[in-house]
Structure formats: C-alpha cells, structure tokens
Structure 1
Amino acid sequence: MVLAAMVGTTIEWYDFFIYAICAGLVFATQFFTALGKDALILSFATIGISFFFRPIGAIVAGHLGDRLGRRAMLILTLLLMGISTVLIGLVPTTGSIGIAAPIILVVLRILQGLSAGGEWGGAALLAVEHAPADRRGLYGAFPQIGVPIGLLLANGVLALVTALTTPEQFLAWGWRIPFLLSVVLIVAGFMIRTRVAESPVFEEVRRTRARSSIPLVPLFRHHWRLVVVGALVFAANNAVGYMTTGGYVQSYAVKSLHLDRSTVLIAVMVSAVAWLVSTLAGGWLADRIGRLRVYRIGFVVQLLWMFPFFALVDTGNIALLHLALILFAVGLGFTYGPQAALYAEMYPTSVRYSGAAISYAIGAVLGGAFAPTIAEALQTSTGTVYAVGAYLAVVTVIGLVASYFVEDRPGQPLSATSDVRADDARTV
C-alpha cells in the first residue's frame, strides 16, 4: 500500500517535473522564440497555467474519491498524467507547425494540472488511512517522498540525455526522450496501483452509507476555514520548493551563471536525495512531537537559510551550489513530510478527500503556480537574486503564521463514526 502510494506519486511528479525543467532549458527557444527576451518568462508562465486547473482536478477527484473510493482515482489520475506527458514528447515545434505548437503544449500542460490536482489527495489518504494511529506521520511521508524521487528521476534522465547528446542535438530532439520514457513508468504504476486494496476507512464509509452525495457542500459550509489555512501552510512550502522543481535555479545557473547544464542537474539530484531524507525525517518526527511543531521548525529553517542560499548560488561555484541546495532541502522536507497526516486529520471522513485535495491544489496555485515566473521577473527587473529571496521569505512567514490557526490532532480516530463535524473543533 505504502509502495503503491509512493510509486504512483513518483511517476506523477516525474512527468510534472520533466515539463517544469524543460520549460527553463528548452521550451523558450523551441515554442516561444518569437517573443524574444520575454520568451523565458512566458515559458515559465506555462508552468503556472496548469496550476489554475489543479483545483478543478481536485474538485472532480475529491468528489469521486469521497463517493467511489481513493483507489479508482489514483488509477485515473496516473493514466491522465502519463498520457499527457508522452504526447508532449511528440508535439512539433513552432518552426514546424507555427502557433499551433505552443497551443497544443499548453493544452497538454493543463491536462497535467488536472491530474496533479487530484492525485495527491488519494495517495496521501490511502497511506494515512491504512496506517496505525501512532505512525501516520511516517506512513504519510511515503507519498510525499515521491516528489523528491520524481525530481531525482527527472533531473537524472535529463542529465543523462544531455551528456549523451550535443547541445544542438538536445534542443533538436534529445529533450523529447524523457517525455517518451514516461510510457514505461505508466505501465509499471498501473500494474502496482490496480493491486492495491481500498482504504479501510473508506470501506467503513461505504458500509455505513456515511458518504455525502455532494461533498463540496458540507466541506465549504462547515470547514472552509480549514481549506484556507491548509492552503496557506502548503503555499509557503510550495513556492520555495518550486525554485528547483519549477526549474528556476537550473535556468539561472545555466543561463545567467553559465554553469554546465549536466553539472547543475546533478547538483539538483543530490539535493533531491537530501529532500527525500529530510521529508522522511519530518514524517517520523511528526509522530513524536506533533505535525505543526515540525512544520514550524521547517519554516524557521527556510527563513534563516533563504538569503545565504542565494548568496552561495550566486557565487557560480559548483561545490557551493551543492551545499546551498542540500541545506535548502532540509526546510523543505520538514514542511512537507508531515503534510499528509496533518491534512487527513484535519477533515472528517465524508469530505476528507475533497478537503485534502482542494487545500493542496489551492496552496499550489498560491505558492508554486507562478513562483518561477515571479522569480525570473524579479531577478530580471532588479538585477539581483536577493529580490527572489525577499519574496520567498515573505511567503514563508505567511505559512508560519497560518500554522497557528489549525489544531494539531495526532492520533485522533479517522473513522466515520468518530468524526467531529463542527468546523470550530478543528481550528483554533
């Protein structure tokens, strides 16, 4: 079960990150070259466009997940993401089919956004709802580590392709290979997820007929404050994380600091390993000192490291880039590892998928949607990456403050019969 949640999430985010990284390294010249100096900003903006469709994916998957089950949604979102990714690898460039090329690219990116919006909630709940009460933080961290593993795979495949091709070959056709390889991952993920048992908590809901016919109605009637607070907490992690997952650091290091592309991708891979370890540590620690306490430690680390991080990156020294990214990952892991357990314990069973998925999706819009675009625009307009650091510091403070407006409920029963329905029982 934990393996299925982790593997599926890994595949989803490999697909998602391949696009984000190529937006910074490839798409500006292959699809948006007519825009001249604004091509890179628009290329990053296509990353953000998909985020606006995440809430739609979350609403649809959340409704069906609360009505039909978590397992079915995991399979559907996996297929949607995988097929969209393979098709991106087949889209002709603007030089071949003109304006139709960027339009097709954006449509497929939107489909990725719909999938990403619905996938996380199902994977997180499947892991947490199967977990013993005293190990939900650790179990819930496994779908979370699918993100750094996906980042590791995406950067690794791109680094390998970059090393095996000339710069001209990479831009001409090499970048397509990672997208097309997704078909292998789709088959593997589909086989694993079709063998997973449904969440025991949802099975109880099915037996007791405690399902809501329209989960969104009770969710926003009784728990809208949780949706807002949960979104703000995640937004602070997501904006910072998208400096690497959204391709900004890779693009800045290659194009502004003139570092070798393969070397930069390897540095990001090393940081992904550090992020994986710190995410697992965050989940494990959340079972011992509480979800929100771990979050707050992570936010403080993010805040304290923000400006030293950019100072080290800006040196153009590859060893210091490694150090900057590794320490950068510590705060990210501590503000990501406890998330699945926190979100699952925030909402009653009948609206849990909808609540978790929508909080996550809105947080992604507020935090990560245009973080690379904002970062690129700030750095271009001010001439310094410290403007980017200031922007991320503000977002981090907002997340830290928001964490004080939700109740920590570790170990609380997740079954339908033990639900506390009142909104004020879950917020402070």
Structure 2
Amino acid sequence: MAGTTIEWYDFFIYALCAGLVFDSQFFAGLGGNALLISFATIGISFFFRPVGAALVGHLGDRIGRRRTLIFTLLLMGISTTLIGVIPPASAIGDTAPVLLILLRILQGLSAGGEWGGAALLAVEHAPAGRSGLFGAYPQLGAPAGLLLSNGVLAVVTAMTTQQQFLAWGWRIPFLISVVLIAVGLIIRRKVSESPVFQKLQQTGSRAKTPLLTVVKHHWPLVLGGALLFAANNAAGYMTTGGYVQTYAVNSLHMSKSVILSAVMVAAVAWLTSTLFAGWLSDRVGRLKVYRVGFVLQLVWMFPFFALLNTANLGLVVVALLVYSIALGLTYGPQAALYSEMFPAAIRYSGAALAYAIGAVLGGAFAPMIAQALQSGTGTVYSVGVYLAALTVVGLVVTFVLKGRSTTPLPTQGETSTIATGSAS
C-alpha cells in the first residue's frame, strides 16, 4: 500500500497539474488547443504502460516480484522529481514540452510494471480465503495517492497567489517525491519475496518466456481483464486525471483549493469502499461485487454531473462521494481476480498486461476525450454518455468472465478460462 500510494501520488500530481498549470507553462504557444494538448500528454504515457508491463512483468516472473517493485518505485520517483525542475517554455522554448513528455513516458513505463507486482506480492502472501482483502491493500494506493496529491496541491494553492503558483508553487509537489521515494524504498526492501515465487524457484517451474506464453495461450483472459478495468479506469480518471477539477475551476468558477478539498473527501470514500469491496469479494465472489459497483456507477452517472453543475460545495461533495463508492466496488476485488486468472509462472506478465491494456483503453485519453466532448457539444452530459457506454461494457464482461472467487490461486499447469454464462 505504501509503495503504490507513492507511485500513484507521483502519477496523479502530473495529471492534476496538466489541467491547472502545464497548458500555460509548457503549451501556451498552441493557443486555444493548449489545454487539450496538455490533457493529451496524460494519455501519451499510457501507451508505454503495456511496454512497461511486458518488460517488468517478464522480470517479475523470472527474478521475483520484490526486486522489480524496487526498480519501478525508483523509476517513478526520479521521473517525477525531474519534472519539478524543468524550466518553462518561456525560458527554453520547445525543449520544455519535449522534456516534460519524455519524463511522462518514463512514468508510464513505471506504472505499467508497478501494479502487477504490488498486487501479486500482496495476494500471494494472503492466507486461504483472504486473497480479496489482502489484494485490496495495494489497490488502496490509488485513492490514497489521489488524497495525498490533491492534499499537497490544495495546501500549495492556498498558501500561494495565482502568480506564485504558476511561477514556482506547482513544482513543490513534484520535488516532495524525493522524500516519499526514500520512505517507499525503506519499506519495500524489508518485504519478503512472495512465497509463490519462492516455490517456483525451488521447483524450477519458472516460465522461460512468460510473456510469449500469455500472448499465445491466455489472450482471451488478457482481453477480458482489460475491458473490465477500462470501464473502471475511464470513470476514475475524471478525478485522478484532473478533468473534474479543471471543469470546476474553469467552467463553474470554483476555487482550486475548494474543489481539491472536495476530491480529497471523495478519495477517503474511494479508499474505504475499495477495502470493503476486497473483503466482501472473499465472501460473495469477485464478480458479484463488480456488478453492484458497475450498476451504481451507471445509475449515478448523470446525477453526478447534474450535482457537479450546481457548483454548490455540499452537493458537489455528495456527487463525488457516491461516485467514489462505485469506483471502489469495481476496484477493490481487482488484484485478487487478476491473480486468480493466470497460472503462477506467468501471473505477473498476464495480470500486468491486462491491467496496462485496460488503462490504455480506459483512462489514457479519458480527460482529453471528456474535454473534447464538452467543448464540441457544449454540455458536460455528453461526457456522461461516454462513461456510461464504457460502464455497460464492463458490466457485460462480468457475465462473460469466469472468476475463481473462493478457490486457492491456480499454480503452474492449471488454467483459467473465459466462459459464457454466469460467473462466481
């Protein structure tokens, strides 16, 4: 949880600043398209997530979960810190946005490999019947990272003027990453290797080409997992990707500190419902919890935007709270479900690849698509239609994907399948 919180803090602080800062500091020369291009840079990194998943997933299946997680943490931390020292375009011209995008790509490579290792390290340490609960802890890194990133940004914006914030204030959250990364490394160095991987080492059962095996024999599972996550990820990136915050400030004229504080409250609800969903999935099944979450997400989509449009702080908080509970229900069981979908020897590669592809299909350009839909149609409700369509896709996948909600994790030689009909 500590490691993924730091990873997602780094990743989300970029997304938040893309809508609040980077359009004017790095892309001002693009005129009216500056904000759209700034949001697009959030998505660029997602194309490198599958690359990171493939590379780090291969290493995770070959040399272990723990060692690869230390590498991804370092890569993310260094990239984030360097973003905090890039001069603006007014000082170094086109070099500034190029450096920004290159460092964002490195963030994408790190994020692509991070989640799979964190999920497996937690789930493969879990006692029988508690995989969902243990797997929920690395999932908490996303809402905790959102809480931390919005909190730090809210404090900085409250303590600086608009001119100071744009000049140097926005750099503070990126530079803080140096401290966080040190804490994360201390914790991860003390975590023991997964017992499942240790057994693979002892028995000589490690796959020689785990990625190739996944692509050749388990691609339906990868596709199913990707579509399932895409529905959650696109909705989640309305807040983690900075769209809601930017819309509230630019279109509804709410103050930065107020909307950031509202999102922090919602992040607590997301964190709580994520942990609850992991616990509940051990009792009723992973996919049943997913279905409840997707139905709530679908039903709440348009009331969410209606309440947001009031610009009333109390109603905005209510909108974000219910929205975040739905996100938690479709996020909490993910680590356990993905781990149970793949044999142990290729589990890192399979889970990481499904997650990374789902992120590309879902969250990669969700803020940019939302901004384009809002600008093109003149109404934020068009964004609701887009998110509702993806939610329906995710809901359908839960009836196609056959999970293993109460059985031990499959070991090498076992297979999981996608089957038509009811799932556990």
Structure 2-normalised TM-score? 0.98
Structure 2 residue identity aligned to 1:420: E
Structure 2 residue identity aligned to 1:191: I
Per-residue deviation, 1:421:
3.2
Aligned twin of 1:26: 21
8 Å contact from structure 2 (residues 125, 195) kept in 1: yes
Aligned twin of 2:97: 102
Aligned twin of 1:244: 239
Aligned twin of 2:221: 226
Per-residue deviation, 1:284:
0.8
The answer to whether residue 287 in structure 2 is matched with residue 292 in structure 1 is yes
Please give the secondary structure, in 1, of the residue aligned with 2:130: helix
Per-residue deviation, 1:358:
0.3
8 Å contact from structure 2 (residues 122, 134) kept in 1: yes
Distance 2:418 2:27 in 1: 49
Per-residue CA deviation, residues 63-113 of structure 1 (Å, 9 max, x unaligned), is 000000000111000000000000000000000000000000000000000
Aligned twin of 2:179: 184
Structure 2 residue identity aligned to 1:255: N
Structure 2 residue identity aligned to 1:113: G
Q: How many residues align?
A: 422
Find 2:379's aligned residue among 374, 384, 387: 384
Per-residue deviation, 1:132:
1.1
Distance 2:37 2:302 in 1: 26
Alignment of 1:107-146 (within 5 A): 107-146=102-141
8 Å contact from structure 1 (residues 205, 416) kept in 2: no
Aligned twin of 1:7: 2
Distance 1:422 1:377, change over 3 A: closer
Per-residue deviation, 1:156:
0.4
Per-residue CA deviation, residues 246-282 of structure 1 (Å, 9 max, x unaligned), is 0000000001111011001000000000000010111
Alignment of 1:246-285 (within 5 A): 246-285=241-280
Structure 2 residue identity aligned to 1:308: P
Distance 2:208 2:287 in 1: 32
Per-residue CA deviation, residues 170-223 of structure 1 (Å, 9 max, x unaligned), is 000000000000000000000110111000000000111111111012112211
Q: Which 10-residue stretch deviates more, 397-406 or 17-26?
A: 397-406
- Provide structure 2 residue ranges, at least 5 long, that are not aligned to the other structure: none
Aligned twin of 1:3: none
8 Å contact from structure 1 (residues 313, 321) kept in 2: yes
Structure 2 residue identity aligned to 1:265: L
Aligned twin of 1:308: 303
Distance 1:247 1:412 in 2: 39
8 Å contact from structure 1 (residues 140, 340) kept in 2: yes
The answer to whether residue 414 in structure 2 is matched with residue 420 in structure 1 is yes
Distance 2:181 2:245 in 1: 26
Aligned twin of 2:37: 42
Distance 1:14 1:185, change over 3 A: same
The answer to whether residue 220 in structure 2 is matched with residue 210 in structure 1 is no
Find 2:393's aligned residue among 398, 411, 418: 398
The answer to whether residue 406 in structure 2 is matched with residue 411 in structure 1 is yes
Structure 1 residue identity aligned to 2:323: F
Structure 1-normalised TM-score? 0.97
Distance 1:103 1:257 in 2: 32
Backbone CA RMSD of aligned residues:
1.2
Find 1:325's aligned residue among 320, 330, 340: 320
Distance 1:377 1:415, change over 3 A: closer
Distance 1:386 1:422 in 2: 39
Structure 2 residue identity aligned to 1:89: G
Aligned twin of 2:354: 359
Structure 1 residue identity aligned to 2:244: V
Per-residue deviation, 1:426:
11
Distance 2:141 2:316 in 1: 23
Per-residue CA deviation, residues 118-177 of structure 1 (Å, 9 max, x unaligned), is 000000000000001211101100000111000000000000001110010000000000
